[in-house]
Structure 1
Amino acid sequence: MAGPIASGGRATAAPPGASYGRALGLLASLFFMWGFITVINNTLLPHLRSVFDLNYTQTTLIESVWFIAYFFASIPAAKLIERVGYQKSLVIGLLTMAAGALGMVLAASLPSYGVTLIMLFVIASGITLLQVAANPYVAVIGPSETASSRLNLVQAMNSAGTMLAPLFGAYLILGRSKGGTAATGTVLTEAERLADAQSVILPYVIVAVVLAVLAVVIARFPLPAMGSATSRVAKADRKNHSLWKHRNLVFGVPAIFIYLIAEIGVANLFVNFVSQPEIANLTNEQAGRYLALLWGGMMIGRFAGSAIMQRIRAETVLAVFSIGAFVVMLITVFTTGPIAMWSLILVGLFHSIMFPTIFTLGIKGLGPLTEEGSGLLIMAIAGGALVVVQGWIADAYGLQTSFLLTAACELYILFYAVWGAKVTAPLPDPVAETTH
């Protein structure tokens, strides 16, 4: 796989001691935006469920299409980065997302379930391009020992976006629709569904404009190159090494895949779950506001995790958080009322450090194989597509029971933290050597 860290073979290596503070600050805005746009789906899904009269399987299929994009777009994204460079690829990714957001306006105007799926795929493909470049970039520009701490810190901005998105969606989508403000179980007329479909137009116009402005800013910003000489050496060295000798990567890819099933399942079904009479008996709009607390917990957890990992090994922190997530998911499944709702909110705190920590543990010790390993880990985000399995379980056995799948996912993360993340056959990291 082409390297997401390289600058297309045309940039010069960054000088030793170069400061990446401003670049990281700008990249943090990208983390914010893709988190924001991804989590708009959490309020969009119950909205579309009402507009198109979907069951849980059809509803979660919308999110599955979103994450299938990670599988199909990861390799083309990495190749694009190698061909046109890091900075141009970021601009292309942002403009792709903006085009998809404008496409959502078309989907709402028709309205069309099929066009909605296509446009969400386009937006997710743009996000994939940003992910393939930005995550490994942040991970390798400092000491490898603090990579998890650094990526957790920047990912906290992603969580800030995910925390604000439910409020944005609840107000501009659910709050402006009949289905979003009516009591659970209310049957809408055809005219009401058509009117509700139009409520997504304004939010996605706003999103498209912001993405276009950010693309212009990125295009004009002097981002530091990440060393073309390093990439050429890496390509020669790769022939003598195998990814499959690195246990932390081999078990890290399924860890990312499985974690995404857990995170996306909780987020996408949260509104429907807490709206149930036996849980909190809320309207979808009210439940959307509580969803912001779940994502707020992820933001707090990442800031805290970044500080904790300065003193405690990342593997240990990951193990403790996975145990906490498993416990609160069992409480969610086997209780009712406010206890079930607040336990589901609390899982956001425990999920917070999982993705960035698994990612940095997965590429640890890969040396010249870091680029390929990073690409595989980003591709594993496609695990979010299997949220449709939880939708099927919810239809067959009940929404509350479906969260047992989430609990099972937490156990694999615990296994990875305790055993799977151990580094085997570590290789020297030439990238780190050029950036100190």
Structure 2
Amino acid sequence: MSQPTKWSQFGVLITVFFFWGFVAASNSIFIPFCKEFFHLDQIQSQLIGSAFYGAYFYGSLILFIVSTVSGIDVLNKIGYKKGIIYGLLISVVGAIALAFISGSEAPTFAAVLIAFFIIALGFSLQQTAAQPFAIALGPVESGAHRLNMAGGVNSFGTLLGPLVVSWLLFGTVKEGESSPANISNIQTLYFFLSGLFILASLVFAVAKLPKTTSNETLEKSPKAMIALVIIGLLFPPVLFADQIHLQFGITKSTTIVTSLVLILLVLFVSMLLAARNKSGWGAMAYPQLVLGMIAIFVYVGVEVTVDNNFGALLKLQEFGGYDEAHISHLISLYWGSLMIGRWTGAVSVFNFSKGVKKVLGIVVPFAAFGIILLVNLIKGNKVDDFLLYPICIAIAVGAFLFANEKPVKLLLTVSVLGAIAMVIALTNTGMVANFAIISCGLCASVMWPCIFALAVSGLGKYTSQGSAFLIMMILGGAILPPAQGAIIDIDKVSPGSTVMGTSFTHFSYIVPLLCFAYLAWHTLKTKSVLKKQGLDVDAQVAAGH
């Protein structure tokens, strides 16, 4: 007989999901602020995201290397509970460091980056442990339900993060007014967050939780480890592009684009080599997994870059002429769009009839939009700009209903819609372009589970290892934003220059357009790969209805 879900323990667990979303989305406000405060160019400002998402990769890579070399699954040995506690304590160190840095007389951007890296390093360990922990806190058959609920809490954190950080930095600023921001205002937030991290770790420490470790055998994959280590060596030049420019005269744009191309090349070459000889590649011997790794890299990259560079676009008069104090409502709408999609997707895990699911599939998105309006009104933001956005939501609802929960059909549909939205954004200005960019949050919201489902299909005993490799590819959020920032900086280097009749800041959204186009290709390619193996994920989902 299966154990009932331990809701009190699960309630504690989902707090860490909230933290991840809150801090990650807060970067959207913190990045344009740091750009002004530290007098950075666009590439430099994007290093906040690079440090943050890069830490996820290195945290996962370190665990993988240590486990492979020692022959012991480190996280499995210490247990998921202790893994979360240790992760929280690492994040405490980063949060306290950032609080002291922001309160110092002469804060430096390098110190801020180090603090963000430490916070996210803790998040990496938390996330690696929390996902299987959520499944373990109740019946296995309802594990997906708990993960979707946790994802909904994560999305609520992404909605509140930009609003809270904007309020701390600028206060409640009315339209037309300006407010001097002071980085010391961040001190209160991160002391508070460090206190919450400590409290959460104490609760986990004293809580009586079930044994939550996996009995799966550790699968060694030396060739896969070499490929991942090479990627780990190719990423640091992104963080040190400034120093490379000063020492060797190589432009920051060249360094970043070179790292990006080489990392993708390593993944594609690995897939080709594994196709010739599967020995030693582990999960990477399966082409759907490597394709999935590249897709996660691109998906996370596009989700982050669409938003993290949005502040630079919104400063242009033809896109509203907003300063840093007045963009939180649009930033929150973007992250709120991710919440809309994820809350809608969570409906599918409940045991409702088809009719009820369809009704909820329509009602939930607009109810979530109502919550977005409410929290913005509470913060003091004007929401007049939002009145036409329900049109975008209605289109997304139509796409979700059309795809009918089938991973291939859904991923292809939202990838194409994302590409169309980017074409609209690139060929228009004002709120039409702004809404097109924001609506990419609706498209991206359901991509992660679709990509994951396709990537781990048919992996068998390598499913757990494959999942770990996919999580490592969050690294895309560390590289694609500065790559887009490199295009934006052309406006600074060559003021008044244009491409296709528009500024380079506007044209930079060609990067997410290419990303969505790639994800559409990825969907068709992966479907073909799986078909050759006799797998049809969409048919399996349809049969399960």
TM norm. shorter chain > 0.5 = yes
Q: How do residues 226-305 of structure 1 correspond to structure 2 at under 5 angstroms?
A: 226-228=212-214, 230-232=215-217, 235=219, 242-305=282-345
Q: Quick check: 1:210 aligned with 2:316?
A: no
Aligned to 2:117: 121
Q: Which stretch of the first structure deviates more once superposed, 377-386 or 323-332? A: 323-332
Pairing 1:403–2:475 present? no
In structure 2, the CA distance between the partners of 1:181 and 1:249, relative to structure 1 (3 Å rule), is farther
Q: Cα offset for 1:279?
A: 0.5
The one of 14, 19, 23 equivalent to 2:4 is: 19
Instruction: Answer with 1 or 2: which has the greater Rg.
Output: 2
Does residue 28 of structure 1 match 2:14?
Answer: yes
Task: Quote the offset at 1:227 in angstroms.
Answer: 5.0
Describe the SS at the equivalent of 2:216.
helix
2:79–2:213 Cα contact (<8 Å) kept = no
Q: CA RMSD in A?
A: 3.0
- Report 1 or 2 for greater relative contact order, CA contacts < 8 Å, sequence distance ≥ 6: 1
Look up the match of 1:420: 526
Query: Counterparts of 1:142 and 1:255 in 2: how far apart (Å)?
Result: 30
Give the structure 1 partner of residue 477 of structure 2: 384
Specify the SS of the correspondent of 2:489.
helix
Matched with 1:92 is 86
Q: Unpaired runs of 5+ in structure 2?
A: 68-73, 223-278, 351-403, 492-503, 536-545
Give the superposition deviation at 1:152: 4.2
State the secondary structure of the residue aligned to 1:222.
coil
Alpha-carbon distance change, 100 to 344 in structure 1, aligned in 2, over 3 angstroms: same
1:218 deviation in Å? 2.1
C-alpha distance in structure 2 between counterparts of 1:231 and 1:426, whole Å: 25
1:316 matched to 2:409: yes
CA distance in 1, matches of 2:54, 2:135: 25
Question: How high is the sequence identity, in percent, across the aligned residues?
Answer: 29
CA separation of 1:323 and 1:142: change in aligned 2, threshold 3 A: farther
- Structure-1 separation of matches of 2:32 and 2:183: 12
How far apart in 1 are the matches of 2:521 and 2:139?
A: 28
Show CA shifts across 1:295-321 (max 9, x none).
Answer: 111111011123358853122112211
What's the offset of the Cα at 1:138? 5.0
* Residues 91-125 of structure 1: per-residue CA shift (max 9 Å, x gap): 11111112101111222213111111111110110
The CA deviation at 1:240 is 9.6
- For normalisation by structure 2, the TM-score amounts to 0.67
SS at match of 1:414: helix
- What is the letter of the counterpart of residue 249 of structure 1? L
Cα shift at 1:40: 1.3
List gaps (5 residues or longer) in structure 1.
1-15, 184-191, 428-436
Query: Hey, what's the Cα distance between the residues in 2 that align with 1:295 and 1:274?
Result: 16
1:366 and 2:406 correspond: no
Q: How big is the shift at 1:204? A: 1.2
Could you say if the C-alpha distance between residues 241 and 406 of structure 1 is closer, same or farther in structure 2, counting changes exceeding 3 Å?
closer
Change (3 A) 1:134 1:351: same
**Equivalent position SS for 1:99:** helix
Q: 1:73 to 1:48 in 2, by over 3 A?
A: same
Local SS of the residue matching 1:251: helix
Q: In the TM superposition, what is the alpha-carbon distance from 1:162 to its structure 2 partner? A: 0.3
Q: Indicate if the aligned counterparts of 1:150 and 1:306 stay in contact, CA closer than 8 A.
A: no
Q: 1:216 to 1:150 in 2, by over 3 A?
A: closer
- The AA in structure 1 aligned to 2:187 is I
